[in-house]
């Protein structure tokens, strides 16, 4: 097994970052556990396995799996599969612009998804033309790409 630095082995700056980053990502709609995992992957000089994250993050294996999947879906973490090994490694994106783009896309999806769901629900219940108060929202024509699935709110 690879050695992962214990928290006391991190620099003061890394410790400060690891304390603050989960709260920042929480403001972007992630859990603090996801923020802690992302922070660990950012300060780690090498990709980390789920076992290493488990040993370092203080979260359950199930929580780690769920939060890594969320970070991966948001484009903040990549899963590496090494030939001949069952164990998967995880690495955080380190390009500031890519991180900013991934966070903005994640936030936009979180903001728009309820509108799309509302539109789909109302369309299933009734014709939106019967709801004049809803037409301004229905006509937004919002389009977003969610992992290859493009959704568009339809106008009348």
Instruction: Give me the pLDDT at residue 43, please.
Output: 94
| Summary mean pLDDT of the chain | 81
Percent of the chain with pLDDT over 90: 40
What DSSP character marks residue 39? H
Q: Which fold has domain 7-94?
A: Arc Repressor Mutant, subunit A (1.10.10)
Residue 94: closest CA among 42, 48, 40, 22: 42
Q: Are 78 and 89 in contact, with CB atoms under 8 Å apart?
A: no
With cut-offs at 50, 70 and 90, classify the pLDDT of residue 6.
low
Q: Is 78 helix (H, G, I), strand (E, B) or coil?
A: strand
Radius of gyration of the chain from Cα atoms?
20
What mean pLDDT comes out for the span 138-152?
Answer: 54
Q: For 39-75, what is each residue's pLDDT tens digit?
A: 999 999 999 999 999 988 889 989 999 999 999 999 9
**Residue 53 confidence (pLDDT):** 93
The residues spanned by each domain of the chain are 7-94, 98-152
d(CA 134, CA 30): 30
pLDDT of residue 156: 40
Place of tokens 């890594």: 68
| Tokens read off for 82 | 């090494």
Kind plus residue range of the DSSP H or E element containing 89: strand 88-92
Mean pLDDT of 101-127: 81
Taking residues 79-103, report their average pLDDT.
89
- Residue 123 backbone zone (phi > 0: left; psi -120 to 50: alpha; other: beta): alpha
Q: What pLDDT does 2 receive?
A: 44
The lowest-confidence range among 36-45, 112-121, 145-154 is 145-154
Let me know: does 71 contact 31? Beta carbons within 8 Å: no
Burial group, residue 154, by CB count within 10 angstroms (0-12, 13-18, 19+): exposed
> pTM of this prediction?
0.70
């Amino acid at each position: 097994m690879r050695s992962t630095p214990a928290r006391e082995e991190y620099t003061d700056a890394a410790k400060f970052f690891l304390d603050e980053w989960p709260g920042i990502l929480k403001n972007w709609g992630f859990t603090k556990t996801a923020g802690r995992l992302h922070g660990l992957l950012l300060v780690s000089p090498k990709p980390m396995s789920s076992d290493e994250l488990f040993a370092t993050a203080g979260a359950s294996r199930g929580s780690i799996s769920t939060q890594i999947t969320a970070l991966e879906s948001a484009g903040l973490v990549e899963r590496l599969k090494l030939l001949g090994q069952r164990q998967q490694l995880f690495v955080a994106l380190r390009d500031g612009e890519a991180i900013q783009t991934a966070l903005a896309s994640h936030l936009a999806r979180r903001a728009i998804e309820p509108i799309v769901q509302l539109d789909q629900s109302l369309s299933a219940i009734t014709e939106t033309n019967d709801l004049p108060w809803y037409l301004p929202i229905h006509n937004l024509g919002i389009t977003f790409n969610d992992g290859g699935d493009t959704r568009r709110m339809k106008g009348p």
